[in-house]
Structure 1
């Protein structure tokens, strides 16, 4: 794929147009197609299959057959070999995957390349864990033997969001496959292609037919029948709270296990003694990476009053210098994913203005300065909102940073926890004792200290409160796809 040809308006070729079921691309049962839009231009660049319950049934049947007859019986070392090969193939195809990711979701190309490399690392990490998944023994009385084993849960369904398509697909598929589970993935209808390409690469790496299946289409026509399917053993969902609640209700009828990674309204706590340059860089990236379309974005700046004015002056100045443009030109700041989402983000700021909010920078719909096209919203900072304000309490999922002023560290803790969400939090201070004290008291699934988005696939990730439950990434993520069997035997 040639970037300049794409930017010049030439057709994008080489994209899959069907579902991936039982080891090959197949036409959808309905024959209907859906448009995929390039957010950087706001125009259609490709089409994909519009799936339905019939396609879901075929994918689940394929996954069930592969689980019962092949994959659960495949030696752990062989599963590891296949996942390692998949990591190699992802890296070998990194440029192509990143271009497709940028076209699908809009993010700058360098960010997309980072996501692709992260996906490769996910398969690499869990390849190394395949043959280390071992149980325990129990100290029973003489004459008895007790032990436990980890077994794969079975067929797993993965509902993938549109903001990090290849990253989220990989962080769910890699541990599921490592544990011996089979997969049916449903990518977001806005961003279907990298999940399909990833499934193809897994087959090329040696994954048996039926072990990984991908069905594209809408949540109503594909997601709903997948989460209610009686032969699905676990659902991993990443997305909004409202949809996550629906997934829980749907899964309840069949007592299907669920892992939910939902929304966030994450605080970045900045104390007076912070490292200035480190903190400015961290706060900027925490909210404006991927145009703020990150569940764990640092969307609330909780800052001590002593440095509030000087810090915001510099933060606003740096925000104004961010370059905006089509993701394939690799700007510092890209578009939001859809026209619908652009209107949603704009609505939050329009209502804030009506309430008298002070917009320090940004606050308007804009476009790619080179073409006048695309779905862009200016990087926005809103000053000093009260705790009950909509901008403080509701997830915007866009490039909007809301400021809250704290009188001291204790007040900062109070503000940080004043949310129905509990996904992540950031802390910037050079006093490590203070940092660790705050980390122990903030109610969130993951805490970053002096570097936002620190860590990687090795670190368990997930939320508390309305941000969901269950953990992905790390060894905890591997255990999410296992069930524990205990055995107790009288031997004497």
Structure 2
């Protein structure tokens, strides 16, 4: 495809041909049992652009049955063959990068350059876990000369993947790739506002050589399609990314079937800046931490905790950079794209208005907006609240939008106390030139991952996940493979 030409054509005519509109089950496109459709919306224009299958329990049953039937054969496939298919899928995804990024940007609203990065990350996940397939090994146990003891890692079976709307493709890939590498089969349910790239990924995996039924995708709402999927007794593991209340419901449903779960839930992550930090680097990190994807990131650095001696100089830099962000349709490569849906824009606006009603005044931003060029779309201004009390809901509650809360710290110990001052514990960031302080804070902050002097550092190789209200279990890295494996031990008398 010619990316610039197709973008210009879409922005002029609102046309994007050949988008998937059905489920992907047992290696083929499958119409919804009910015949019902749902609309997908262009967040940058606040208008529908496509219709897709509204799935229900009957569709989920077909997909789980296909995955269950394919499980024995896929589980016995040589790891090298599984890895080769994932490697081919990575190659195909890179070759089709522009098409996937176009659709991801349009469906989610995120800036195109961010979507291109997401596609590259998804391809890297497929490549990484393709290589990992050959590293899955058992162990031997020292039982003495008359006995032989060993373990065999086995795939857990059918796995369900509930995929969020903020990172549809990359979140899908980071869970599905290790599941497939481990020999599990997959039924994925993408978010109802961003279904398209998951459907495209399932079809791409089939073209890469994945046997029919090994990866299936069913679209629809959470209650109609997601709930019956996680409640299905044939599903032996659920990987879920989303809100805390929904995650609790998923865990309850899985518990009734004694199925395992990995939950990546909310965040209110701190970015700590000590007085000796490189303030330009810290300001750039703070901007990316909260305004990338319009703040719609579980691991966003939504709380800037700055030591008093650096506060004024840092805040000046951050406000200057926030003011320079450009709002526009995601396909035009803005630095601040729209929020994903009208409903979510309303939630973000409601929380900011409530803060204003409590007497807090934003240092910048604080209002819902539209694309300055078209007057359309679901946008919210880059917003910063300064010197917010540690008990305020702006500090405690996840907003999931482009809203930064600044907290003042008197010293390193106070910064640590503030960093640990919420119910969430997903990630954290620290900017300082003091090696000891950096690693003391990394040790003491309660988080699943800590970034030092670069927010969002790392990649697919680094385990990711949270503690407390941010969930449990780990995605990414070798740790993710363990989500999809069970251990069988064998002990034999041979003497």
TM-score in same-fold range (> 0.5): yes
Matches for 1:13-412 after TM superposition, within 5 Å: 13-68=17-72, 70-412=73-415
State the 1:232 CA deviation: 0.5
State the 1:358 CA deviation: 2.4
Which whole-Å CA distance do the structure 1 matches of 2:27 and 2:12 have between them? 35
Which whole-Å CA distance do the structure 1 matches of 2:11 and 2:240 have between them? 34
Would you say the 8 A contact 2:14–2:49 is kept in 1?
Answer: no
Kindly provide the CA deviation profile for residues 222-279 of structure 1, in whole angstroms up to 9, marking residues without a partner as x.
0000010011110000000000000011111111111100000000000001112211
State the 1:336 CA deviation: 0.3
Number of equivalenced pairs: 491
Say which SS state the counterpart of residue 282 (structure 2) adopts. Answer: helix
Alignment counterpart, residue 483 of structure 1, candidates 455, 461, 486: 486
State the 1:10 CA deviation: 3.3
Kindly provide the CA deviation profile for residues 93-139 of structure 1, in whole angstroms up to 9, marking residues without a partner as x.
00000000011000000000000000000000001100111011112
Would you say the 8 A contact 2:67–2:186 is kept in 1?
Answer: yes
State the 1:196 CA deviation: 0.3
Which range moved further: 462-471 or 271-280?
Answer: 271-280
Which whole-Å CA distance do the structure 2 matches of 1:141 and 1:265 have between them? 52
**Root mean square deviation of aligned Cα:** 0.7
Kindly provide the CA deviation profile for residues 44-86 of structure 1, in whole angstroms up to 9, marking residues without a partner as x.
0101000000000000000000002x20111000001100000
Which whole-Å CA distance do the structure 1 matches of 2:403 and 2:199 have between them? 32
State the 1:9 CA deviation: 2.5
Would you say the 8 A contact 2:298–2:400 is kept in 1?
Answer: yes
Kindly provide the CA deviation profile for residues 297-353 of structure 1, in whole angstroms up to 9, marking residues without a partner as x.
000001000011111012101100011100000011100000000010011110101
Which whole-Å CA distance do the structure 2 matches of 1:440 and 1:147 have between them? 36
Which whole-Å CA distance do the structure 2 matches of 1:455 and 1:251 have between them? 31
State the 1:35 CA deviation: 0.3
State the 1:27 CA deviation: 0.4
Kindly provide the CA deviation profile for residues 440-466 of structure 1, in whole angstroms up to 9, marking residues without a partner as x.
000000000000000000000000000
Which whole-Å CA distance do the structure 2 matches of 1:275 and 1:480 have between them? 39
Say which SS state the counterpart of residue 480 (structure 1) adopts. Answer: helix
Say which SS state the counterpart of residue 86 (structure 1) adopts. Answer: helix
Unaligned runs of 5+ in 1: none
Unaligned runs of 5+ in 2: none
Which whole-Å CA distance do the structure 1 matches of 2:311 and 2:101 have between them? 38
Say which SS state the counterpart of residue 58 (structure 2) adopts. Answer: helix
Which whole-Å CA distance do the structure 2 matches of 1:464 and 1:174 have between them? 23
Would you say the 8 A contact 2:328–2:334 is kept in 1?
Answer: yes
Matches for 1:460-471 after TM superposition, within 5 Å: 460-471=463-474
Which whole-Å CA distance do the structure 2 matches of 1:441 and 1:86 have between them? 40
Is 1:9 the counterpart of 2:25? The answer is: no
Q: How does the TM-score come out when normalised to structure 2?
A: 0.98
State the 1:146 CA deviation: 1.3
